[in-house]
Chains A and B, each alone.
Chain A
Amino acid sequence: MSDVTGFRPPAPGSQPENDTPTYGSTRLRHPTRPLIAFPHTITEATGPAFSPRHFPALADLTLMDGKAAQGERIIVRGRITDEDDRPVPHTMVEIWQANAAGRYNHPGDQHDAPLDPHFKGDGRVFTDADGWYQFTTIKPGAYPWRNHKNAWRPNHIHFSYFGPGFATRLITQMYFPGDPLLAIDPIFHSVPDEAARNRLISSFDLDITQPEWALGYRFDVVLRGRAATPMGV
Chain B
Amino acid sequence: MSIATAAQTIGPFWHLIEDKSLADLTRFGATGEVLTLTGRITDGEGNPVADACVELWQASPAADERFPGWGRSATDATGTFRFTTLKPGPVPGRGNTQQAPHFAINILARGIITRLYTRAYFQGEALNEADPLLNLIEDPGRRATLIALPDGPSTWRMDIRLQGEGETVFIEV
Contact = CB atoms under 8 A, between A and B. Distances in A.
Contacts of A106: 12-13, 15-16
Contacts, number: 217
Nearest to B146: A36
Nearest to B52: A29
Contacts of A48: 57, 63, 68-70
Interface residues of B, number: 67
A77 to B, nearest CB: 16
A38 B171 contact: yes
Size bin of chain A's contact surface: 35 or more
Contact of B11 (A15, A30, A158): A158
A37 B4 contact: no
B53 to A, nearest CB: 8
A46 B9 CA distance: 23
Contact of B106 (A30, A124, A166): A166
A29 B1 contact: no
Interface stretch (A18-26, A67-75, A204-212): A18-26
Given A36-B169, A171-B7, A29 B63 contact: no
B37 interface: no
A23 B92 contact: no
A172 B92 CA distance: 32
Contacts of B43: 28-29
A94 to B, nearest CB: 5
Contacts of B70: 47-48
A35 interface: yes
A158 B14 contact: yes
Given A171-B7, A172-B5, A20 B164 contact: no
B142 to A, nearest CB: 8
9 contacts: A1-B92, A11-B3, A27-B44, A28-B47, A85-B1, A96-B17, A108-B51, A199-B6, A222-B5
